[in-house]
Amino acid sequence: MTEKPKTQAELDEERLREIDARIKEAVELLKTGVDRDTSDQNVKKARAERDKHQGNHRTKAFHRHKGGKEAITTSAHTKSALDLAEHLRLRIRLGDFAQDLQDSLTRLADEQNEILERVLKRARN
């Protein structure tokens, strides 16, 4: 049993969901105020900090979990490893978009409008 091909309306709705998710992510990244260059610098600093504290399990440090959760007391080694992981995750997310986030957001909005125009046209028929 083969699946029947998707209609243009179904394809448009699917793509709109993808675009909405990408726009939301791009806006969240813009709110951080961090671009690729800054993120690269932050990763470099975080790696140096991690290397500095390698094996340093005696010195206590506070780490605030992403999302504003409670601060936890941990070793400087663990804190620097967790901080590096956060910076790496952010850099990876930034890499999923164009160098200029505004450019990515503009292209997504333009594509979204093209699809919405088609949806509107079908709705009028």
- Predicted confidence (pLDDT) per residue in 13-62, tens digit: 999 999 999 999 999 999 999 999 999 999 999 999 999 988 766 666 56
- Which residue, among 4, 9, 15, 41, has the nearest Cα to 110 in the 3D structure? 15
Cβ–Cβ < 8 Å for 124, 65: no
pLDDT the model gives residue 72: 59
pLDDT band at 119 (very low <50, low <70, confident <90, very high): very high
Q: What span, in angstroms and rounded, lies between the C-alpha atoms of 98 and 107?
A: 10
Helix (H) or strand (E) holding 119: helix 101-124
- Which residue, among 88, 23, 15, 16, has the nearest Cα to 50 in the 3D structure? 88
pLDDT score of 110 more than 90: yes
pLDDT the model gives residue 62: 61
Q: Dump pLDDT digits (tens) for 63-105.
A: 565 655 555 567 788 888 989 999 999 999 999 999 999 999 9
